[in-house]
Amino acid sequence: MVWFLFSAGLVVTYAAAVHFWRKWVRPWRDVDHVIHEVINGRTPRTFLVDGNRSAQRIAVALEDVFVRQRHLATRVEEDQLNIRTILGAMRDGLAVVDGKGRLRLMNAVSRHLFGITDDGLGRNVIETFRDPLVAEMVTRTLQTGASTSHSINVRGGGSGGDRRLAVTSLAIQQEDGGTHGAIVLFQDVTQLQQLEQVRKDFVSNVSHELRTPLSIFRGYLETLIDEPDLARAERERILRVLEKHSTRLHSLVDDLLSLARLEAPDPGLNFVSILLDGLLQNIVKDWEKKVSAKELRLVHISDADLPPVSADEARLEEIIYNLLDNAVKYSSAGGQVTLRASRVDEHNVAISVTDEGTGIAAADLPRIFERFYRADKARSREMGGTGLGLSIVKHIVQLHGGSVEAESQLGRGTAVHVILPKDR
């Protein structure tokens, strides 16, 4: 009887223990496992919990939290990707500063402009950009909510050269009207500034080139009007001077119009297949008289295996005419001018004009293709040059997909090489 009661007690105790474990221990252990997996961002094997309603409700709630967390994480990841995509596509620099003046976001362009190697996040503006004007602009925006704009110079940076930046600071407004932070934009205007300087120089040079002959015209015309009985020899001298400067004005206007047409959206080039040897032979015949008048020799050389070239024939002739004009102009009597066409490689040919003239100083050589640049200004004007010939040559060559280069030594002559692709 005693053993029976003892055995029954053991069975009851075991059954109670099993029931307790199933109802209170195992469910909460499963809930603890689910919580651990959710905290660590992993998907639990199951959210189902048996034996305890409270544990079941908590597990269901955890599943809902997990789904919401995953959804929010996906949205955050998508938003971050969108932000990175937008910032990466921006050509201007951008930085976001919080209300305490500390950097919270910066794109790659900003880091490149200022030579910043890390992300710079968490530092204040002056530490990041090392420019007191930028720091002052951001501080003013944070304090007043007003946008500010200035220009700054940046030395070095990722580009390795000095840059001119247009900086704009914009306030990030809160719903109550307060300033939550600032957005700082950096626009590289170095090239725009250079283009503006080129425009100013161009206008200045054109004005000067026009003013000089027009002033001479006006002076001599006043002389002819005020002195009708002027000696015939003096009158003829004045008319020759007027003819010389009218020719110079005509050349200048022609060159300016040619440049304008070349820089138009559609320069109107007509590409045809051209045999260079025949073209150069015709040009040599056209120049025989002018070359002979200066007691020069014009030599034409063409490689035997020259392929046809796809080019605008009129513009190609203009290139060669400009180069020959310079060569003849700066050569002395008894010298030689060589016009040569040669194969560079499988895809390119070269047209070269070489003279034995005065040559160009090494300091001037890199700039001879600029508009109105003259290595010898006084002599160029005396010879009637406009200073636009080589610039026109460069424009035409570039429109053909080619390149132009020059080599020269003072007193030993100059060689200009035009490299053209044989196909468009």
| Residue-wise pLDDT tens digits, 52-100 | 666 667 666 766 777 777 777 667 666 666 666 666 667 788 888 888 8
pLDDT attached to residue 72: 75
213 alpha-carbon distance from chain centroid: 39
CA–CA separation, 354 and 408 (whole Å): 9
Whether the pLDDT of residue 147 is over 70: the answer is yes
Instruction: Name the residue with tokens 């990841």.
Output: 77
> What residue ranges of the chain are covered by domains with CATH 3.30.565.10?
271-424
Q: What is the pLDDT of residue 159?
A: 60
In this prediction, residues 219-225 reach a mean pLDDT of 86
**pLDDT over 60 (residue 14):** no
Share of the chain above pLDDT 90, in %: 9
User: pLDDT, tens digit, for every residue of 185-217?
Assistant: 998 888 888 777 777 777 777 777 778 788 888
What's residue 64's pLDDT?
Answer: 73
Determine how β-strand 93-98 pairs with β-strand 179-188: antiparallel
User: In the numeric block, which tokens belong to residue 173?
Assistant: 């407004």
Q: What CATH number matches the domain at 192-268, 3.40.50.300, 3.40.50.920, 1.10.287.130, 3.40.50.1820?
A: 1.10.287.130
Cα torsion through 57, 61, 63, 64, rounded to 10? 140
212 CB neighbour count, 10 Å cutoff: 14
Beta strands in 323-394 (DSSP E): 336-343, 348-354
Q: For the residues 266-278, what does the mean pLDDT come to? A: 86
Q: Render pLDDT for 157-181 as a digit per residue (tens, 0 to 9).
A: 656 667 888 999 988 887 776 778 8
- Selecting from 1.10.10.60, 3.40.50.720, 2.140.10.10, 3.30.565.10, what CATH number does the domain 271-424 have? 3.30.565.10
Query: Which H helix or E strand runs over 303?
Result: none
Please say if the pLDDT value at position 301 is more than 70: yes
Q: 127-130, long-range: CB within 8 Å, 24+ apart, which pairs?
A: 128/95, 128/103, 129/95
- Most confident segment among 136-145, 364-373, 377-386: 136-145
In this predicted model, which residue has the larger pLDDT, 330 or 1? 330
Angle between helices 313-329 and 389-399 (to 10 degrees): 150
Would you tell me which CATH number, out of the four given (1.10.3720.10, 3.90.230.10, 3.90.1150.10, 3.30.450.20), belongs to the domain 90-188? 3.30.450.20
Mark 23-32 as b/e (b = at least 16 C-beta within 10 Å): eeebbbebbe
Tokens standing for 70? Answer: 């995953």
Which position has the higher pLDDT, 208 or 23?
A: 208
State the chain's mean pLDDT as an integer: 80
Selected residue with higher pLDDT from 83 and 256: 256
The predicted pLDDT at position 353 comes to 92
Task: Identify the weakest region by mean pLDDT among 17-21, 58-62, 137-141.
Answer: 17-21
Closest by Cα among 273, 414, 402, 394 to 352: 414
pLDDT at residue 378 greater than cutoff 50: no
Q: Does residue 380 have a pLDDT over 60?
A: no
Range among 90-99, 107-116, 178-187, 318-327 with highest mean pLDDT value: 318-327
Look at the block and give the residue holding tokens 């890390």: 118
> What DSSP assignment string belongs to 258-287?
HHHHHTSS-----EEEE-HHHHHHHHHHHH
**Which residue from 259, 258, 267, 272 is spatially nearest to 312, judged by alpha carbons?**
272
- Choose from 21-25, 338-342, 386-390 the range with maximum mean pLDDT: 338-342
Asked whether the predicted pLDDT for residue 230 surpasses 90, the reply is no
CB 187 within 8 A of CB 166: yes
- Range with the poorest average pLDDT among 24-28, 184-188, 399-403: 24-28
Q: Where in the chain is the domain with CATH 1.10.287.130?
A: 192-268
Closest CA to 99 of 174, 185, 180: 180
Confidence of residue 368 (pLDDT cuts 50, 70, 90): confident
Tokens of 415: 């060689």
CB 167 within 8 A of CB 92: no
Cα 296 to its chain centre, rounded Å, is 45
CATH 3.30.450.20 domain extents, the chain: 90-188
Which of 10-19, 128-137, 274-283 is the least confident region?
10-19
Residue 29 has what pLDDT? Answer: 66
Closest Cα partner for 383 from 358, 355, 417, 415? Answer: 358
pLDDT of residue 410: 86
Taking a C-beta distance cutoff of 8 angstroms, is the pair 22, 16 a contact? no
